[in-house]
Amino acid sequence: MRVTFRLNGEATVIEAEPRQSLADAVRAAGFTGTHHGCEHGVCGACTLRVDGVAVRGCLMLAVQAEGAEVVTVEGLDAPDLKAAFVRHNALQCGFCTPGMLMTAAELLESGHVPDRAEIRDHLSGSYCRCTGYQAIVDSVEEVAQARHGAKP
Amino acid sequence: MTQIGRALPRPNARRLVEGAGRFVGDLTPPRMLHAVFVRSPYAHAVITGMDLDAARAAPGVVAVYDGADMATQITPWVGVLTHMVGMRSPPQPALAVGHTHWQGEPVVMIVASSRALAEDAAELVTVDYDPLPPVTDMEAALAPDAPVIHPDLGSNLCWEKRIDVGAVDVAFADPANTVVERRFVFGRHTGVTLEPRVITADYDAAQDQLTVNYSGQVPHMMQEVLATHLGLPQSQVRIVAQDVGGSFGIKIHTYGDEVAACAAARLLRRPVQFAADRYESFQSDIHARDHRVTARAAMAPDGRLLAVDVDDITGIGPYSVYPRSSAIEGNQVINLIGAPYTLPAYRARLRVVFQTKVPTCQYRAVGHPIAMAVMEGLMDDLAAATGRDPVVLREMNLIPDDAYPVRSPQGMLYADLSHQACLTRLKELMGYDALCAERDAMRARGVHRGIGIVSMVEITNPSPMFYGVGGAPVAAQDGAVVRLDASGAVHLSSSVTEQGQGTETILAQIAADVLGLRAEDIRVQTGDTAHMPYGGGTWASRGAGIGGEAMRAASVALRAQVLELAGAVLQCPPSALALAGGAIIDAASSTERMTLRELAQMVYFRGNELPAGQAAELIASRHFRVEGMPFVFSNGAMASYVEVDVETGLVTLLNHWVVEDVGTILNPKLVDEQIRGGVVQGIGGALFEECLFSDDGQLLTATMADYLVPMAGEMPDIEIAHVVTPTSTSALGAKGAGEAGTSGASGAVMNAVNDALRPLGAQISQMPMTPERILRSLGLVP
Ligand code: FES
Ligand code: FES
């Protein structure tokens, strides 16, 4: 089926089988930053944003994205967050990282400064097998504070 | 500024946060096919018939292969090490031939133009099975009347080892001594790398060349394994390992499905990709641990540890995994028990047992968490039995920091360790006395908190005495190449691979220091057998200690070339020159004489300006292996602080502290984050992770919803401090950090839970410590 949507800011038309997931579709379109860790909605590696909301790309069908605004990690405009991840070494293998960034970006746009417990809670749908999470929490906390004018 | 010791960020991290990783599944060469496997639904069965016609006729299907087809392409492998005397394992085919031995064993491979079409066709395969009795329980498997999985072997025992040193019986018989005994049960875990196993094989018939992109840690081992079992000259097999989405030891083994995908690529002369889905990962990635350990310890009235006696039985599935063998884990358990302590007498028996379950093999911190949890559990029991403080009892028995080298009763040679310093630092870091007071005050209010301490030893940087002597094609050394280009840029290549631990960054830091550059200015390549020096790759925490040492030596050799050439050009002895800031400087005055770029351009472009006979060479390679010691051990101490809800059985992690001695610290940020990640994997084993099977051998935890791993919300912040004792086996002094966190964390959490339970008269000795098991230990559920 033909699906027309905006993908990372560009008008995009793809041919998708009805059973194809959105994660598979964006990967096939060349945005391989969206990863498959489980394909059943648990690990969070496939998280992308559809109309501003973080969704699991493995649980959404490509055809459901008709007319939507889809953003993957490649199109995620959060240089401060990405830089903080690098600075804090908040990633090791980097496989979870796109999903983590998409999830964290959503929290950071919520308009308040979350504390560490809230950050941990918000990220609990995204598995990281490498890092131990602490550096990720440090990064998100620092960006949240910086965006609200607090000193890091 | 020296580069070693700087908390430099990783260049590859920048790429990964932009979603620009190059994971194997991201590569889709033209005409690529997808392989999908039909796997055995039974733990143990005879294959009586198969109908593959419907699958062959399905849309998009290019080929369908069964075990017999693959047996004509792939020779079977045997996962035994010859130095582990008496070890047995039968030949293992890539796909089951006639007989299946675990639920999930690959039976039929479908190759089709898309994964979805291959999966559709897999649904059309019919395989007839005659189920055989499953052999699931490791102890029952040894009973005389147990069904024998491999009839030719006569029993289900893969390997047995005994150690008996010192007056063990005397120590246990003397009534003046305190004796404690416990039976521990350690569940099966698996690695759950976030990126499942994936391989893309491509065969170039014109050159008879197989190129394999794989998500793994050991390119040269894979080259050897594939060449041998596919019958290709090794020079015709190229392995490329770029970004790897987690490995933890899971991705250093030989998997039949991966080898079969390579065989299919050769047969079909097209690229073939196999990417395990998560369900397949749980059924086919190696599992690990799975031990039952009965252990006792005897202590003199003055608190001196006298003897430990251990019986470890471990289930490994139906085959010892090739080529490293599945017996190393148990061997390390019995070799490491008691390692931090002065232990005069030790007895151990290890039995490694075949079962009809997913094969087990090496996973991060092989055997360590079992050994540490057992010994540290016994130490806490001894402390409790005699009313001693657990830290004081450890302080009395730790091998003194000035006593090395020391040989343990198991024959392990320990050097350059720092148990006393680590424990002292740990006490400071955690504020031990105040924490004990807080715990006691909370207890008085009915809040059940506990503190758990662990001292630990980790095996890192193995020498050839580990696998090489046993006949496994696993290189014990690593190689490094350092080259200066005409631009003045320095390029490194190494046989150690990068999985996010920061290999490439630390190698750059090492070379930068030797060559007077900034690490940021150096380019590093890893993970391609066509371009890298030969070496072992990444396992057993050897990247820094072995790969790094090779890089240091190669850099020193390049520096000598540079200085000699510069001396010839500048007409002064090389010893009067040094390198700094990308330039050749006068050693005495530090004034710049010429830049590296100027020298390189003269050498490469205007060699006529060099004195006749002067070698015009700006590239050096060196290899390094550990000599004189079988391993370079690292050590540390850890503490965990938990709260147990005695009504729900839930454990809340309040704090976790680690003091680790990894020798010279090359990059503190990378080391600390590796330790944290390791701690969280250890906590996973302590509280959450378990591969559960039904009695008939069906895997019950085959999705991420069933198999729990630690998530951000449950994990505490983890405080880390270091003691630095460089290893005397190398100039750099780096030991390994990869096992560090995982080794001790689960024991620390178990000790903390038991400290919380002790006033209630309860104890738990089974991991993971699920709420149900905790309630059972309290007698609250049957
Ligand atoms: S791949 Fe979608 S949640 Fe795991
Ligand atoms: S960095 Fe490897 S899974 Fe998170």
pLDDT digits (tens, 9 = 90+) for A26-47: 999 999 999 999 999 999 999 9
Interface test with B, best of A15, A35, A95, A123 (most B CBs within 10 A): A95
Q: Give the pLDDT confidence score for residue B206 in this predicted structure.
A: 94
Q: Give the pLDDT confidence score for residue B1 in this predicted structure.
A: 63
Report d(CA B553, CA B551) in Å as an integer: 5
Which amino acid, residue B301? P
Q: Probe ligand 1: pick from A35, A38, A73, A96, max atoms within 8 Å of CB? A: A38
Q: Give the pLDDT confidence score for residue A61 in this predicted structure.
A: 97
DSSP secondary-structure letter at B546?
I
A42 touches chain B (CB under 8 A): yes
Q: Give the pLDDT confidence score for residue A149 in this predicted structure.
A: 83
Is the C-beta atom of B630 inside 6 A of ligand 2? no
Q: Which atom of ligand 2 is nearest to the CA of A130?
A: 2
Report d(CA B753, CA B760) in Å as an integer: 12
Structure tokens at B782: 């049957």
The rounded Å distance from CA A40 to ligand 1 centre is 6
pLDDT digit string (tens) for B491-520? 999 999 999 999 999 999 999 999 999 998
Q: Probe ligand 1: pick from A21, A26, A40, A50, max atoms within 8 Å of CB? A: A40
In this prediction, the residues of chain B whose per-residue pLDDT falls under 70 are 1
Burial state string for B695-732 with b = 16 or more CB within 10 A and e = fewer than 16: eebbbebbebeebbbbbbebbbebbbbbbebbbebbeb
Cis peptide before B323 (omega within 30 of 0): yes
Other beta carbons within 10 angstroms of residue B572's beta carbon come to 15
Handedness of CA A112, A116, A118, A124 (dihedral sign): positive
Which amino acid, residue A28? A
Q: Which atom of ligand 1 is nearest to the CA of A41?
A: 3
Q: Is B357 within 8 Å of B317 (Cβ atoms)?
A: yes
Report d(CA A98, CA A46) in Å as an integer: 8
Report d(CA B526, CA B504) in Å as an integer: 8
């070379």: which residue's tokens? B511
Q: Which stretches does DSSP call E strand in B662-760?
A: 718-722
Q: Give the pLDDT confidence score for residue B168 in this predicted structure.
A: 98
Q: Give the pLDDT confidence score for residue B113 in this predicted structure.
A: 98
Contact B677 A92 (CB under 8 A): yes
Instruction: Spell out the residues 6+ positions from residue A140 whose beta carbon is closer than 8 angstroms to its own.
Output: A81, A84, A104, A107, A108, A114, A119, A123
Looking at the complex, report in whole angstroms how far the Cα of residue B583 sits from the nearest Cα belonging to chain A: 29
Q: Is A122 within 8 Å of B222 (Cβ atoms)?
A: no
Report d(CA B312, CA B21) in Å as an integer: 42
Residues forming a β-bridge with A6: A11, A69
Question: Average pLDDT, stretch A83-87?
Answer: 97
Instruction: Spell out the residues 6+ positions from residue B302 whose beta carbon is closer than 8 angstroms to its own.
Output: none
Rounded alpha-carbon distances, angstroms, from residue A14 to A27, A66, A132, B30, B366: 12, 10, 38, 19, 47
Q: Give the pLDDT confidence score for residue B462 in this predicted structure.
A: 86
ipTM metric: 0.96
Q: Give the pLDDT confidence score for residue A151 in this predicted structure.
A: 52
Instruction: Spell out the residues 6+ positions from residue B233 whose beta carbon is closer than 8 angstroms to its own.
Output: B227
Looking at the complex, report in whole angstroms how far the Cα of residue A4 sits from the nearest Cα belonging to chain B: 23
> Binning pLDDT at 50, 70 and 90, where does residue A152 land?
very low
Is the C-beta atom of A120 inside 6 A of ligand 1? no
Report d(CA B599, CA B559) in Å as an integer: 12
Looking at the complex, report in whole angstroms how far the Cα of residue A67 sits from the nearest Cα belonging to chain B: 24
Q: Which atom of ligand 1 is nearest to the CA of A56?
A: 2
pLDDT digit string (tens) for B130-181? 999 999 999 999 999 999 999 999 999 999 999 999 999 999 999 999 999 9
